[in-house]
Structure 1
Amino acid sequence: MRTRESFRARFRRPFGADRFPPCLPGDRFARPRLPSVTPSGPVIAAVVCLLALASILPAEAGPGPVASDLLTTRVISLDGTWRLAPDPQNAGRDQKWYLAPRGEAKETKVPWIIQDAFGDYHGVAWYWREFTPPANPHAGGRCLLRFWAVDYAAEVWLNGVRVGQHEDGEEPFSFDVTDAVRADRPNLLAVRVLNPTNEPIDGITLNHTPHGIKVMPYQAGRNWNKGGICDSVELLLAPRARVEDVFVRGDWKSGQVRIQADLRNDAGKDAPAKLDFVIAPARSGSTVASARLERTLAPGVTRVETTLRVPGHRLWELNDPQLYRLSLRVAEDGSASCDERSVRFGFRDFRFERGCFRLNGRRIYLRCSHTTNCCPVGLEMPHDPDLLRRDLLNVKVMGFNAIRFIDGVAKRYQLDLCDEIGLMVYEESYAAWLMENSPQMPQRYDRSVSSMVRRDRNHACVTIWGLLNETHEGPVFRQAVGFLPRLRELDDSRMVLLNSGRWDAAGGGRLMRQQIPSVAFWAWMHQSEPWVGHNPTAETVRALGITWPGKTLALHPGPAGEYSVVRWKAPADGKCEVTAEFATIAERATTDVHVLHKGRSVFAGGINMGDGGPRARFAGAVDVRAGDTVDFAVGYGNGSYGADSTSLTLTIRGPGGKAYDAAADFDPARNGTGCWSYGQFDPGPTPRSDTFRPYTRDKVEAVGSLSNPGSREWQDVLDDRHPYQRVPHTAAIIQFLRTTGGGDKPLFLSEYGIGSAVDLVRVVRLYEQIGKGQTMDARFYRDRRDEFLADWKRWRMDEAFARPEEFFRQSLSRMAAQRLLGINAIRSNAGVVGHSVTGTVDQVMCGEGLTTTFRELKPGTVDALADAFAPLRWCLFVEGPNVYRGGKVHVEAVLANEDALAPGNYPAVFRVAGPAARVWERRVTVEIPPRSAKDEAPLATLVLAEDVPLDGPPGRYRFLGNFERGAAAGGGEAEFFVYDPPAQAGGQVTLWGQDAELAAWLTKVGIRTRVADQAQAGDPAGNEVIVACGKVPAPGGAEAMARLTQRVRQGATAIFLTPAVFSDGKDATALLPLERKGRLMNLPSWLYHKDEWAKDHPVFAALPAGGLMDYLVYRDIIPDTVFADLDAPAEAVAGANNAAVGYSSGLLVAVYRVGQGRIVLNTLRVRENLGANPVADRLLLNMIRYAQSPGPATRPAR
């Protein structure tokens, strides 16, 4: 196609996709399209504003280049309908499949994935496309075949001629096909694509490639293994002198523009050429700077560098993202052809300096969320391209200023939109996560990251390159550390973050020995956890939520699930007697504890998990030979890292009668010189002794977390963590989020969040609605939905919810308040300078997102996040949230201030309001003093801390705060509940088990008690109420349980207050008096968490019930443990369903008929909170009253 327009005329043409041809591997110029987002409510106005911002920028005038009439490069899209066939035997190359499509081939579209046409297929697949190209109009011109991305490896034939191969799932690449293409005749393009698996194909396996978190076989929480031609394919008819790449850097202070252009000359000899450079605002096209250079291009690639200056340049800002466009034309002297390239760029600077992130010199709080770009059907490719635009618009509306692409690079059009709406980008390639070491790792890692940088380095929105995520010390980590100089050759203008979460051992951070200096620790030199510590003093140490008795040994697991270990090595052959007791010394550790002999488990238990309470004990004989190891390990239990400090009281009487005491023998100076050593096991579902590594004090070279623009070194100025916490958040967790920090360094929380269930009912119907109900991901969701519906029927959940949809609706709705709760605590932490929220969207088949996988809004989330990230915000706290009338609550108010207030005095008022009236009020004046650039105010300041007495009526209370003039802060509200003390209950119960505290509490509330042995076999049991708790009474074990069961069969009702009484030391439910014993199981209770529900039942009388359990009311009562795999009960009173990650479920409170009587099973943390929490008190009284009443007729399961 001949183009007779002048260069200047083309430059001034209105904004359009045909204005300049796309390039490799620089920016692609795309037509802006109004997103087809259909948000509702408060989102509409904000989206309109964003789109207006992206399309209205003032014009600037200036001189342009001389006009000329030249032929330009033509780009022909080969996207659309292709043919696709699997090659499971990898026989296609030998059988010459590249000569013609296979008969079994199906139609597919490109770009798209193999797995839509051939679900569950992985390995080699072949694509075919016929096309008829015109003749190349350029004298001596070249025909180029360009692929923007093929995942993972591609081998390409054109008309039976092999034109090249390429490896890497995200890198654009091209082949010169001039000698193979046939002008004005049909051409056959064949592409052999390798989507790697766990078995080698062409010597390539999935885990040894840059693959992100793809996994086989699939499991929730990871990404599907998928592949194919995943971006556009184009044929370029180009002149022999052309632009291969352009890199533009604008200096934010001076307006200077550094331009680096790589020009290719395929003439086979030197070629004199003219280069025209033109800069203009991206929206107006009016030239503001231009230059012409004359260069002689040698054969191959010639790099040309030059500098222009834009007068009166405007910065790319979050609220005013000014963009400029550089256009470059190269024309060989005497030729009628030219090649043109156009890229957008901006003037901006983003760095970490003086303890904060700064954009264009101004301090900002980095507000980010992360996305893996997961989509229905296409998995990482949207069936509707607007889905991925909605993610960006949604987070911008919610108040975020950045988005993190965590599991592979962004789509090109996403970066275009981020440029336009003022949303910063933190970008990582496939190599950043879970790539395993291999001989090819260095080359593959470098290529993956380099291709990301080359492709996206002109985008103003891209401010951070990320090299790794959650990667341990090892070859891949060290490859990333050493890659920085190479990256700086490609781009010296951006921040680089090394390893999100800093799971390596070189990250620095504030060590435990610094935070509790009176305690001696063995740990890695530059890593806070895991550790083994010993309090050598006689005093109890209280710090960081830990109550550490004197002369006590304790262990803490690591953030990635590393087991902390105390190892004893037998000095001689013989029998040794081992006594080990593990116990929580944190508020409520949730750890798994183990004793292993030569790697074989001899004991496994849980602290506040499974059937375990706050302690777990092992006592037994172990036959050893000299040199045998006996290991005592602590893991992170429920997978929720933090607050897991666990003491170990350990004595061993060894061969010959010699006594060993782990605490008394602790050596703070030497590790492993005697019988004792301290170290870690690698993460895993079970501890493996062969992975033991002793802690050392060898100085490991600290590697900083970031490199600022222009720096070629890793700077140790920022701590980077992923502090996921148990849900619901307790007082200790909230305090942890308020105080956690990096010691002498500010802290960036690069991951943290609280999700919801996946709405399994609705998501399946949405797949069906678009005709994709049989895709891999749709079938996964359908299977999980069917599991939920089976529980719905078995447990009669319609007695709590009107329909299945209501369960999911409530889960999605309550997420907003939980996110607000956590971010409220984080914003009050002056040491935290940024937070990347998990996650942008429901991804990896889990419910972690701010929106659903179909990008539907979760109720209340937009408002909650906009409030949470308000630049000026009152963060209010109340402890405790459930108190008796006449008691006190502690209230605190923290002002989070992102430089929103000018210096001055601002009056504020705080109130506590109850059901009837205001019960407390306090006025304060907040002073904002003048500050200099070197003396900035903290991002959060404590303004108020008081104890408030309460003597009002029972009900809901609110702690409120607001400015009275001069400022309008977000936040400003916290809830709590007041209860009347329990009335005298009356009646009598039989206590089965030794629990003096329980007996005293029952007496206090007016309930008479007798112990189990006072109930004779001949006594009538018809109205007897038995409360089973504590140490099992004599004779213990199965015999004691049989006696109790006999009383139940005669008509008694037994309340099993804790599940620990069912354990025989090996099986947690061995003594459960039911035919089918089931099991005790921990359900997810962190980012991915179960949803607990309670029916409107006598057990929950006068408490919120009839739906999901209120996390404020039941915060301290909800356990991690459920009864699972039991027969349907007579009454399913309360339960929990995990639809957030896969599916699992169980019962919290259930009533079973046993003979003429009943048993009440319970895992709620009633006993642990008895006497300290009004909700626990009321629940036990309700259980007893229920047990005293006649039981209802048994209803069959439906």
Structure 2
Amino acid sequence: MLSLNGTWQLLVDRENKGIEERWFDSIRFEAQPAPVPGVIQQVFPGYHGVAWYWKTIDDDCDCSAGERTLLRFGAVDYLADVWVNSKRAGSFEGGETPFEFDITELWAAEGGNLLAVRVLNPTNEPIDGIVLGQVPHRNKNEVASAGGDFNHGGIKGHVDLRTVPAVYVTNVFVQPEMNTGTVKITTTVSNSLGAATAAALQGAVARTDGSGDTIQADRIILNAECGESVHEMTVTIPNPRLWRLEDPYLYQLTIEIQTAGQRPHRQAVRFGFKDFRIVDGFFHLNGKRIFLKSTHTMNATPVTMNVQTLSDHLRKDMFYLKAAGFNAVRFIAGVASPEQLDLCDEIGLLVFEETMANWCLNFTSDPKYPTLPYSEEVGKRYDHSNIEMIKRDRNHPCIAAWSLLNETYDGPVFERAVAFLPTLRRYDASRLVLLNSGRFDFRFSIGSASNPGGDAWEYCWGIEAPDAPTLKFDRPSAEGSGEFHYYPPTPQSAETNSFLRYMGNGTKPVYLSEYGIGSLFNVINEWRHFEQAQARTDLEDASWLQEQSESLYADWKRLGLEDAYPFPEDMLRDSQRLNARQRTFGFNLIRSNPRLCGYNLTGMLDHGMCGEGMWTFWREWKPTMFDAVSDGFAPLKWCLFVDAMHGYCGREITVEAVLATEDALAPGAYPARFKVFGPTGTVWEKAVSFTVPESMPFAVPVMKETIRIDGLQGSYTFAANLERGGAPSGGAVKFQMTDPKAYPLSNGQVTLWGIDQSVENWLAGRGLNCVPLQAGEGPNQEVIIVGNPVDASNEETWMLLKQRMKNGAAVLFADPMLFIDNESAIQWLPLTNKGTCKRIKESIYHKECVANRHVVFDGLQGPGILDMDVYGQVISHEIFLGQDTPYETICAGFNTGHYRIPRGYEVESVNRSLSD
């Protein structure tokens, strides 16, 4: 075998004239050096369309009489046309799976050989009738946006040249059965002799523990037909050692075929004995129930989009997951690399795998082409993409499930996936199959899963049943869905927290297959890594980061925030640090729910140029994140809750403890002790005895009590201790208590316009004299508070307000909704550039509000990012944009890597402004 990886020559074909002008005859003089594996955009940033690769091969690759020369590509994205010495070798459409051509008749035994590969990287405009949205493309966007995938293409896999005998093995499929130890071996043989011939086929199974001992072998004599033929044999392994998460034991099968006058040809594959299925709504591995602990990845890499060339990023991802306590990984709408699957086989990490056809097929995010006409050709591409994935990866014991769709609405693509199951079973009957992650189709009369050996969609989760209703869109999955995606508004509300804790009550179990809260995308640190790697600054990802970094620096200085943090990147790191604590709270909600069978955390890393991951684009763990995740997925874990996280001395609060146990504690009674610890030491304590029932749920309620704390204001800790039988993680949660008596009553007068009566009563209770805004002169140093008045379009009142401002009144606008779609309000702002006010959807992607050093925050948390645990729902989703630089910034909101914001970055501020 000869590797053809390395430097090729590359040129873009902007006018798609290369075939007509016979570019396959010779290397164009304008061509540039390009790495293979790699992508077109490494050399020609921002280009999408047709491009040509060339490679001259001077190495000898002579074939003995009757042998064949094969050219193999690991993956070419998306369509490849291949020529050898000006003669067409073939074409392949797919984007992420291997293919090969027999080029024996095209290959020159003496002298050099020229390979030419035409690659079509589709766009939104048709090229040869192919459009990006109608081919497997995941969420690639021609116009980049955060949370998506940069459009890219090229020769993304290894390229090899090899010689084989005239009769050789092309494919081996191993089907081990753990209960019996039988191993069914299906071998595909290619015969290019021109006539059928007798051959000996031998299969030998050996250990992979270093001994190399052959355990079982079988040998058959077969008649190899011309072309391809399929042959089967069976061997039995006595008392097979199972592939388990803690002991991922592998066997190796070597298949050898030999015919008279030909050298033998061998192919080796590794396999393992494993069974993974859903039983009564819960995942079971080898007959034992497990709580699925997963996350998803787009395999994004700097510079190369998702080709591992600069570092061992893709391998490092798998090691990080295993070390942090994950037992599974989901490759979201894009297959894993062969090297990753080999590694997952070895370290014991379950894999849920999808192809690029399984998300956004027949859809594009470009507003000009939101939906596309469905055709049978689109359906065939869907089938082909999934078949090729299964054929490539079905021998890997780490493969837990094939996933057919992600967040796909009801329609022809969904129907295609539903109908694909019988076809899939012809290629692999041994795996779990999942239908549509998130169940955006809302058709719960169709089940979400098919267990190994099954030929129908089974009703495993949620309200799924033959007569289940079709529900409305919600949350974004519909309530009642058994495979649930949940991205609630951030900061999370009490309703959200309750929903996570109790989802699945009254239905079958639920698989929470996507949920998470991200941080800001650390655009400065990510950009510095590109500089450190000496990467080109015009690369799409590099330029995206440089632009956001420079904008953030400029706005940071413009808004006068130099004293909030030493540097802007310290604010971004603080966002990551706070995010780890938010993850911990999310784990408590999830692990305390016994009806959840598993959790897939959003997301593995900051792929999609956004802040959704546990580690960065360049594979650095975010501060304190490893501790948060490893604690969250511990087999035995305290889930502690305080209502509310910011309470008041002398008022009631509720503390609660649930013990999450992944079958870690045997049934029986256990003692536990709880304390509330504050500035003066222990202020509350209780000992309890609780029972783990015989049913062994994933979460056991232990204690819930309403208490009153009359101590000093400050930071408190609710702590738990299991006094016998186990060593749970997560034994403490911090919360704040404020003494309302510590804040003196105010005095004086405030003027109100559009303020609710309840708020007016509260102000009056603080000692203030509240008067309505009305005609006449206001008092000196007047303070006016404006809500969202019913007469907000009354020009006379706005004129009065503006006159009061000119006379020196300070005006506090307490409700930003006043300015949403209200030109009457916007035009009266005392600014030259008045800007706009709009609501930003905030969930996994959200802004951070940065408090400046200011009297407004005296006695409150600040300066720095406003902690969601402290401020909660006070943080507004409405923002002002495009206004003048303020006279004095009180607080500013920053978004980096937000998918609803062009180019991912935006800033808004709460400020004091001078009147006109």
Q: Please, what TM-score do these two structures have when normalized by structure 2?
A: 0.94
Q: 2: CA distance between counterparts of 1:240 and 1:1057?
A: 81
1:1149 to 905, 910, 913: 910
2:414 to 477, 487, 511: 477
Whether 1:864 aligns to 2:628 is yes
How many Å apart are 1:1062 and its aligned residue? Answer: 4.8
How many Å apart are 1:1022 and its aligned residue? Answer: 3.6
How many Å apart are 1:805 and its aligned residue? Answer: 1.4
Q: Deviations over 1:302-349 (max 9, x none)?
A: 1111111112321111011001100000001x2241110000000111
Whether 1:878 aligns to 2:636 is no
Contact 2:692 2:700 in 1 (8 A): no
1:108 to 12, 34, 37: 34
Whether 1:1029 aligns to 2:787 is yes
Q: 1: CA distance between counterparts of 2:825 and 2:119?
A: 51
Q: 1: CA distance between counterparts of 2:607 and 2:820?
A: 38
Whether 1:1072 aligns to 2:829 is yes
Contact 2:715 2:735 in 1 (8 A): yes
Contact 1:755 1:1140 in 2 (8 A): no
Q: 2: CA distance between counterparts of 1:317 and 1:183?
A: 49
How many Å apart are 1:1082 and its aligned residue? Answer: 2.4
Gaps of 5+ in 1: 1-74, 509-701, 1156-1198
Whether 1:716 aligns to 2:476 is no
Other-structure match for 1:963: 722
Other-structure match for 2:230: 303
Q: Relative to 1, partners in 2 of residues 1:927 and 1:1061: Cα closer, same or farther, differing over 3 Å?
A: closer
Other-structure match for 1:359: 285
Whether 1:1052 aligns to 2:809 is yes
1:941 to 686, 695, 700: 700
Other-structure match for 1:1123: 880
How many Å apart are 1:836 and its aligned residue? Answer: 0.6
SS for the counterpart of 1:851 is coil
How many Å apart are 1:118 and its aligned residue? Answer: 0.8
Whether 1:733 aligns to 2:496 is yes
1:99 to 25, 38, 42: 25
**AA of the residue aligned to 2:748:** G
Of the structure 1 ranges 1037-1046 and 229-238, higher mean CA displacement relative to structure 2 is found in 1037-1046
Q: Relative to 1, partners in 2 of residues 1:311 and 1:1061: Cα closer, same or farther, differing over 3 Å?
A: closer
- Residues 752-767 of structure 1: pairs in structure 2 closer than 5 A: 752-767=515-530
**AA of the residue aligned to 1:898:** E
Q: Deviations over 1:485-529 (max 9, x none)?
A: 1100000111010000000031x2xxxxxxxxxxxxxxxxxxxxx
Q: 1: CA distance between counterparts of 2:235 and 2:750?
A: 89
Q: Deviations over 1:1124-1155 (max 9, x none)?
A: 21111111111210113243444453111226
Q: Deviations over 1:546-592 (max 9, x none)?
A: xxxxxxxxxxxxxxxxxxxxxxxxxxxxxxxxxxxxxxxxxxxxxxx
Other-structure match for 1:851: 615
1:986 to 736, 739, 747: 747
**AA of the residue aligned to 1:939:** F
- Residues 818-967 of structure 1: pairs in structure 2 closer than 5 A: 818-929=582-693, 931=694, 936-967=695-726
Whether 1:289 aligns to 2:49 is no
How many Å apart are 1:1008 and its aligned residue? Answer: 2.0
Other-structure match for 2:368: none
Other-structure match for 1:973: 732
Other-structure match for 1:48: none
Whether 1:458 aligns to 2:395 is yes
Other-structure match for 1:439: 376
Contact 2:592 2:658 in 1 (8 A): yes
Contact 1:127 1:191 in 2 (8 A): yes
- Residues 775-790 of structure 1: pairs in structure 2 closer than 5 A: 775-790=539-554
Other-structure match for 2:446: 703
Whether 1:1040 aligns to 2:783 is no
How many Å apart are 1:1027 and its aligned residue? Answer: 2.0
2:757 to 962, 981, 996: 996
Whether 1:812 aligns to 2:738 is no
Of the structure 1 ranges 790-799 and 846-855, higher mean CA displacement relative to structure 2 is found in 790-799
Q: Relative to 1, partners in 2 of residues 1:1145 and 1:175: Cα closer, same or farther, differing over 3 Å?
A: closer
Q: Deviations over 1:428-453 (max 9, x none)?
A: 00110001133311211110000000
Other-structure match for 2:508: 745
How many Å apart are 1:140 and its aligned residue? Answer: 0.9
Q: 2: CA distance between counterparts of 1:868 and 1:1067?
A: 50
Whether 1:213 aligns to 2:150 is no
Q: Deviations over 1:747-775 (max 9, x none)?
A: 11111111111111111111111111321
Contact 1:1130 1:1151 in 2 (8 A): yes
Contact 1:158 1:187 in 2 (8 A): yes
Other-structure match for 1:198: 124
Contact 1:84 1:125 in 2 (8 A): yes
Q: Relative to 1, partners in 2 of residues 1:742 and 1:326: Cα closer, same or farther, differing over 3 Å?
A: farther
Structure 1 ranges of 4+ moved more than 6 A? none
Other-structure match for 1:378: 304
How many Å apart are 1:1084 and its aligned residue? Answer: 4.3
How many Å apart are 1:903 and its aligned residue? Answer: 2.6
Other-structure match for 1:501: 438
**AA of the residue aligned to 2:244:** E
How many Å apart are 1:1067 and its aligned residue? Answer: 5.9
SS for the counterpart of 2:608 is coil
- Residues 609-628 of structure 1: pairs in structure 2 closer than 5 A: none
Contact 2:75 2:96 in 1 (8 A): yes
- Residues 298-697 of structure 1: pairs in structure 2 closer than 5 A: 298-332=225-259, 334-436=260-362, 437-506=374-443, 508=444
Other-structure match for 1:515: none
Corresponding pairs, count: 877
Q: 2: CA distance between counterparts of 1:245 and 1:443?
A: 23
Whether 1:1113 aligns to 2:870 is yes
2:847 to 1090, 1110, 1120: 1090
Mark the structure with the bigger radius of gyration.
Answer: 1
Gaps of 5+ in 2: 363-373, 462-481
SS for the counterpart of 1:483 is helix
Other-structure match for 1:1007: 768
Q: Deviations over 1:89-122 (max 9, x none)?
A: 1111111111100010001111111111111111
SS for the counterpart of 1:440 is helix
SS for the counterpart of 1:342 is strand
Contact 1:874 1:969 in 2 (8 A): yes
Whether 1:81 aligns to 2:7 is yes
SS for the counterpart of 1:984 is coil
Contact 2:753 2:772 in 1 (8 A): yes
Contact 1:829 1:940 in 2 (8 A): yes
Q: Deviations over 1:823-866 (max 9, x none)?
A: 21011111111011111110111111111000011011110000
SS for the counterpart of 1:1153 is coil
Q: 1: CA distance between counterparts of 2:297 and 2:824?
A: 41
Q: 2: CA distance between counterparts of 1:1111 and 1:443?
A: 48
Q: 1: CA distance between counterparts of 2:755 and 2:458?
A: 58
How many Å apart are 1:1046 and its aligned residue? Answer: 1.1
Q: Deviations over 1:454-512 (max 9, x none)?
A: 00000011111010000001111110111101100000111010000000031x2xxxx
Q: Relative to 1, partners in 2 of residues 1:993 and 1:827: Cα closer, same or farther, differing over 3 Å?
A: same
> Identity of paired residues, percent?
43
Q: Deviations over 1:856-908 (max 9, x none)?
A: 11011110000011111111111112222110101111111110012332110
**AA of the residue aligned to 1:954:** Q
Q: 1: CA distance between counterparts of 2:907 and 2:33?
A: 45
**AA of the residue aligned to 1:319:** E
Contact 2:802 2:828 in 1 (8 A): no
**AA of the residue aligned to 2:626:** V
SS for the counterpart of 2:734 is strand
How many Å apart are 1:975 and its aligned residue? Answer: 2.3
Contact 1:878 1:889 in 2 (8 A): yes
Q: Relative to 1, partners in 2 of residues 1:994 and 1:214: Cα closer, same or farther, differing over 3 Å?
A: closer
Q: 2: CA distance between counterparts of 1:994 and 1:1003?
A: 13
Q: 2: CA distance between counterparts of 1:831 and 1:163?
A: 55
Q: 1: CA distance between counterparts of 2:22 and 2:791?
A: 79
**AA of the residue aligned to 2:377:** Q
Q: 1: CA distance between counterparts of 2:408 and 2:563?
A: 46
